[in-house]
Amino acid sequence: MTTLLRKELREQWRSYRLLIVAAVLTGMGLLGPLTAKYLPVLLASMPGVPEGLAAVMPAADVTMAVGEYLDNIVQFGVILAVLVPMAAVVGEKTSGTAEITLSKPVSRLSFLLSKFLGYGVVFAIGMGLAAIGGYYYTGLLFEWLPAGSFALLNALVLLYLLVYVAIALLASTLARSQLAAAGLAVAALVGFGVLGVLPSVVPYLPATLVGWARAAVLTSGAEPAWRALGSSLSLIVLAVLAAWLILRRQEL
């Protein structure tokens, strides 16, 4: 298992996936507080902007900075979580690498777990860099937030993204092409969005973690979304187990 994980991490580095995820998430983390601070100034200086528009915009504050940070990280993070792992299994099956790896004394569960953990490390590094940049610029431009609360925010967002990493891994196991894998993962994303219109289901959806993350930083005594936390962890476990059961039945 350790050998497989090292192999996955080397592959993430050589394929530039680690660099791409880290660069995008870090960039979005930095852009959040910067946008909140300087967007009114930019609007005021741009030609063609209706006069007085910048004046009626709400004053930039730490709430806006956290909101911009979260929105950027979540939107671009989900895109990365769906697209980056789409070749995790189907790509290796197509190239024959999976057959070579699994011909050795390696279980298919270890094969899948090493991939999930490898992508987990990649996204953890990206979120860590984004958190450092976002925290610094939010403190520099607005006010210094409690470090523990901001760390919790980023941990919850990371868990939210890992749900989609696990689903993308399952889709990559099911599909026969990378495009089909991406389509299945996007369909799951849309499905969660549709379920979001049902009030009785919302407390269990992974997206509720984002609301908890926002409240944890901006609201004292924010109520934890334990049901969303439990369902998110369960979805990750179920997606990996389902991928394992499917891969066991597949001929490589």
- What is the full DSSP assignment across 101-150? HHTSS--HHHHHHHHHHHHHHHHHHHHHHHHHHHHHHHHHHT-PPPHHHH
233 or 192: whose pLDDT is higher?
233
Q: With 90 as the cut, is the pLDDT of residue 80 above it?
A: yes
- pLDDT at residue 238, as a whole number: 95
- pLDDT at residue 57, as a whole number: 62
- What CA–CA distances, in Å, run from 134 to 73, 116, 202, 216, 230? 10, 26, 28, 16, 27
Question: What confidence tier does 234 reach under pLDDT thresholds 50, 70, 90?
Answer: very high
Question: What confidence tier does 95 reach under pLDDT thresholds 50, 70, 90?
Answer: confident
Structure tokens at 96: 């024959």
As a whole number, mean pLDDT of residues 87-106 equals: 75
Show Cβ contacts of residue 102 under 8 Å, excluding neighbours closer than 6 positions. 108, 111, 252
| Domain range for 216 | 2-249
Show Cβ contacts of residue 202 under 8 Å, excluding neighbours closer than 6 positions. 195, 196, 208
Q: With 90 as the cut, is the pLDDT of residue 231 above it?
A: yes
- pLDDT at residue 174, as a whole number: 86
- pLDDT at residue 235, as a whole number: 94
- pLDDT at residue 42, as a whole number: 63
Q: With 80 as the cut, is the pLDDT of residue 111 above it?
A: yes
Going by C-alpha positions, the residue among 139, 140, 150 that lies closest to residue 217 is 150
Residue 18 has phi, psi (to 5 degrees) of -60, -45
Show Cβ contacts of residue 183 under 8 Å, excluding neighbours closer than 6 positions. 171, 175
Going by C-alpha positions, the residue among 25, 9, 17, 13 that lies closest to residue 126 is 25
- pLDDT at residue 41, as a whole number: 63
Q: With 90 as the cut, is the pLDDT of residue 184 above it?
A: no
- What CA–CA distances, in Å, run from 13 to 8, 21, 140, 238? 9, 11, 32, 28
- What CA–CA distances, in Å, run from 66 to 30, 141, 146, 174? 11, 12, 12, 37
**pLDDT one-digit tens code per residue, 112-123:** 899 999 999 999
Question: What confidence tier does 91 reach under pLDDT thresholds 50, 70, 90?
Answer: confident
As a whole number, mean pLDDT of residues 126-130 equals: 96
**pLDDT one-digit tens code per residue, 41-59:** 665 555 555 555 555 566 7
Q: What angle do helix axes 208-218 and 147-174 make, rounded to 10 degrees? A: 170
As a whole number, mean pLDDT of residues 237-251 equals: 87
- pLDDT at residue 44, as a whole number: 57
- pLDDT at residue 74, as a whole number: 95
User: Are 151 and 131 a contacting pair, CB within 8 Å?
Assistant: yes
Instruction: Give me Rg for the CA atoms of the chain.
Output: 20
As a whole number, mean pLDDT of residues 48-71 equals: 74
Distance CA 124, CA 120 (A): 6
Structure tokens at 23: 């660069």
Q: How many domains does the chain have?
A: 1
Distance CA 182, CA 164 (A): 11
- pLDDT at residue 46, as a whole number: 58
- What CA–CA distances, in Å, run from 244 to 109, 159, 181? 6, 21, 16
- pLDDT at residue 206, as a whole number: 92
